[in-house]
Each structure stands twice: as C-alpha cells, then as structure tokens.
Amino acid sequence: MRRLLLLGSVPALFVGALSGCGPKPGEGWFPLDAGHHWTYRVSSEWENNTQERELITLSTVGAEDLALSGKTWRRRSDSGVDYWLKSDDSGIYRVASKSDLEDLPRQDPEPRFVLKAPIAVGTTWRSSTTAYLLRRRQEFPPELKHSHPAIPMNYVIEATGEKVKTAAGEFPDCLRVKGTATLRLFADPVVGWKDMPLTTLEWYCKGVGLVRVERSEPANSTFLTGGTQTLELVAWE
C-alpha cells in the first residue's frame, strides 16, 4: 500500500557490505539491496459498496548518492514513483521521493521511519500519513488526501515472531506494527465535527519485507464515506 507508505505508505539486507560495518537494526525486515521484486494484491472496499482490485509491483534499484542525504537506497513502484531510504543505527527511514512527472527527488521535511530501532515490542515512532480511503460524498475532488496531505500517525511494534500466511507463502518470523491517527472532519449536520480514526496494521517478515497491510478508515456519516484496504504479497524474489 504505501501508495500507503508504501505506504507509505509507505515503508537493507546487506548495507554492512557497502558500509564496512555490521548489519543495522531493521535490515533483515525491509530489504533494500538491488534486485528484489514484490508483487502485491490491493483490495479496497468503501462503505457505499464500491470495490477496487489491482496489482502493484515494487522493486529495489540499489545504492545511490543523493544530494543532502548521502548514500541512500532507491525503491521504485510500477506506478512511476521512486523512494530513497537510509539505514543506520536508528532504523530504516525514507528521505526523498519522486514521481515521473518531477525532475528531481523531493526531500522529505524530516525522516519518515519505516521501522525504528530497537526492533522490539514497544518501540514507537511518528510519521505522517494521509486519508487514502475517506471521501466526500458530494464534493469535488472527493478524496481528502488533497486537503489533508500530512496527518501525524503514531506507530508501535506490537509483536514479534508472528506467523503470517499470504498468497506468496507462509512466513514464520514477522513483526506486527500498528499505526493510529485521527482526522477531525465535519461528519454531518447532526453529529457535527467528529474525530475519524485511521488505523494501519503492517506485517514485516525476516528476509522478505512487507507482506501484508490492513488499513481501516471508517466514516459512518452522511457527508463522508470511508472504507478498508488490504495489501497482500502474492509473489516476491
């Protein structure tokens, strides 16, 4: 999802080989070295019964020197967006991004962590997100991400050692990360202003990376429609 992080939303195995030092925290959970490919099935469903299905592919390009950031690791989405990330003792974080419509990478105002050290239950951090599913019913553009591009979301590593089964296989050693945020919106004339919850669950498996994301953005109002989105790994190499 990262379109969510991809995510982000949003969201290196062998950095040590290039840096001359040992593995950094998080490297086994989010591979960044060149030559990897992940294909995900993204399923979205809104409260108005609209559904969407698509496949997206991410790939790792490898190490690059980026102005203002030094040595980074580039990932590319088949949607035409590139992401530059760094790995050090603080964890793994994004420092820049660029779409095919932009001439140069756009630096993030501050690092956007994918995973923060230490990789242990209870580790927390904050990164920005947006509303990927919430929509206005009768306004244009309907997507709220245009008016609310940077919503603070709090993340926590909730569990380690989980088993996760996806269409790409079963993975025995995974982290579960939870993200929570709220977006205050005018729901309707009866309820008035309301805090809309945004929730993300992400699973990162050792040696593989991100294998599953579950996103929830309920609205339950007459002015807005919300929904859910699931990203599941279907193939990787």
Give the model confidence (pLDDT) of 39-92 as tens digits: 999 999 999 888 999 999 999 999 999 887 889 999 999 999 999 999 999 999
Neighbours of 9 (CB within 10 A): 25
Mean pLDDT, to the nearest integer, of 95-107?
92
The domain spans of the chain are 15-236
Taking residues 163-181, what's their average pLDDT?
97
Confidence of residue 24 (pLDDT cuts 50, 70, 90): low
- Residue 14 pLDDT: 25
Structure tokens that stand for 116 in this block:
């923060």
Segment 84-109 shows an average pLDDT of 93
Burial (Cβ within 10 Å: 0-12, 13-18, ≥19) of residue 4: buried
pLDDT of residue 136: 83
Q: Give the span between the Cα atoms of 186 and 189, in whole angstroms.
A: 8
Secondary structure (3-state) at 167? coil
Average of pLDDT values for 155-177? Answer: 97
H or E, element range at 19: helix 15-19
Residue with tokens 């309301």: 194
3-class DSSP state of 28? helix
State the Rg of the chain over Cα.
18
Strands 169-188 and 135-136: unpaired
Q: Give residue-wise pLDDT tens across range 109-159.
A: 888 999 999 999 999 999 999 898 988 887 777 777 777 778 899 999 999
